[in-house]
Structure 1
Amino acid sequence: MFSRADLESREAAFLAPYARLSRDARREHAEEESPTRTAFQKDRDRVLHTKAFRRLEAKTQVFLNAPALGDHYRTRLTHTLEVQQVARSLALTLGLNETLAETVALAHDLGHPPFGHAGERLLDALMREDGGFDHNAQARRMVTLLEERSGGKPGLNLTLDTLDGLNKHDRAHLPPDTRQPSLEAQIVDAADALAYTAHDLDDGLRSGLLHPDALLELPLWRDLLTRAGVTAHPAPEQWRPLQSELLGWLISDLGESTAAAVAASGVQTPGDVTAQPQRLVTYSPELRGKLRETAEFLREHLYRHWQVERQVYQAEQVLTDLFTAFEQRPGLLPPRPRARIERDGLRRAICDHIAGMTDRYALETHGQLRR
């Protein structure tokens, strides 16, 4: 049986010199580490056992999480697991700390509210005068305050490396002198965008909101058909092999381009990585352009499709009604969010409560309050 010291020694012996090592990890509040798990393994296990992680199963990715829409579309949980798989594979390929990458991937969407980005936009608007709402900031709030570990202590007391990884999305909104995230965190960011592209195309086709013929205007799609040896009019049974081909293509390009960028940069330590003027995890220039075009296509033809917009409208109505009801009658709040009013203020307590809801729970609560 390997001890923590054995596992830490193995990291030091086999990982790249610029990888984050668990033996160097620190927590905001010092605690005794496990004798058989590294600090990052403990972080991962704490994230996996949170209520917030379990709730991802019933939160929107693109399509509203409701029984009438079927069981085969991706949820926030399946998206998270797909990001974890891609991030872990890339970390292994590049000699990075796979457990840290895996942990950041599992935690990165814990702050998403019900109804996906529509819910996030609405909560941000409702909270504009009270600090706004951002799912990245909410993920950090979840793991540092709202979730509890054994003994009823607030927050999970995750390592500072994991917490820094949760800053990955919004570096553009941080001060100019902000240091780059670790390569493990950069990998998760790239894996997140990669999963969105590949899997939203798949869900769009399965739903019928995207037609294969319309995708022919995309260079990425045309190149994918050529790579897979598939006709310009693929049958539904060919969509799964196409998705596998796309994932393999994107992961391979990302890994090769990142390895080249790391080598060209000359980084030798984790500190060298954070001091870089730009991120090192990147695609080839050609594929970056194709992915930008694909993202814009999905925005116009899937995310703004009239059937998706109907769901967005429903979500906005539900969350607005809930927020208004709780603000007018705080006694409608369950005990835990009500207990946080004195510390955080009524509106932030309401926001936290709504952000933690699943789609189904929000719809059920809305229905109960309207009876």
Structure 2
Amino acid sequence: MIAWTDRRALDLFAIEHPLLLAPMAGSGGSALAIAVAHAGGLGSLPCASISLQTIEAEVRLFRSTVPGSRINLNFFAHTPATPTTEDTQRWLGRLAPYFAEFGVDVAALPAAGGRAPFDAQMCSLVESLRPEVVSFHFGLPADALLDRVKATGAIVLASATTVIEGRWLESRGCDAVIAQGYEAGGHRGNFLTDDMATQPGVFALVPQLVDALKVPVIAAGGIVDGRGMAAALCLGASAVQLGTAFLLSDEATSVTAHRNALRTARDDNTAVTNVLTGRPARGVVNRVMRELGLLSEDALPFPLAGGPLTPLRAATEPDGLGDFQPLWSGQSGALVREAAAAQIVQDVVEQAARLLRLP
């Protein structure tokens, strides 16, 4: 057993290694959470894009497979926006050439959505399931809902992309703060700023958050091996959260187009974009990002921008192409390996322990 020197995260989550699985919609389910928990980390389930019934079934499977292990249920805390007719027509106008190319009937476009914010129904499910950990992205839900979550005894986490956001989260009772650096794949967790140009990287953000907060800080973004984990722990992080590292794992549910993109990931071919969902998120650059621009003022607000892309994705995905879909990846995607998730965890923690010269 590795003698980790900072036990705050280990004791908080009752885990063997200071490693958390990032909740990844579309790529991570109970199989991946179970594998990470078996290997000594904290398993997580992305709950913002699945039904209440699916959440319940996934939690039941997790608990029956790894009894005694804690689980993190992750939710979004964004405030939905209602676009005007002009907003909608402007976005559809930007996509019109693609609709024509692939023969999409604009009148038959599916309803947009798919990323619901934490609400009373989700809160009731948390009260019923009583997960040991509940985490939020895009800030925190309303105080009344958050109080109900805390009343269950759940440990509460949330992502911060700046020190100001971290202080805000701590002041509202978060038990730990995830320091999401600009390198991170997937959606930015920003909620007090929309300025992507000033977002700090993880190794600049972590020590500043550690100095500013009393609660444990969890480093996230660009960490896929033991070198990154050791560096984050040296800077004061109590644990790391890994997502991209598991995207090519045996247990990941990443679709073929996503896996193909990850196999070609480089240090310079991911970018932050809002044209896929309406909110800034990092992924491998694809056709729609190149042609519409990475950050477009025409994109509908989250999560509505992605709805009209659905038929375009359906037309190209069967060929293994990811031209119109999220290909989320952090900046260290080129370092990702194809292996069982438990092996990935073992390799990461053992390399980190060697570098830190831990017994």
Q: TM above 0.5, one fold?
A: no
Structure having the higher strand fraction is 2
Structure having the higher helix fraction is 1
- The structure with the larger Rg is 1
User: TM-score range, shorter-chain basis?
Assistant: under 0.3
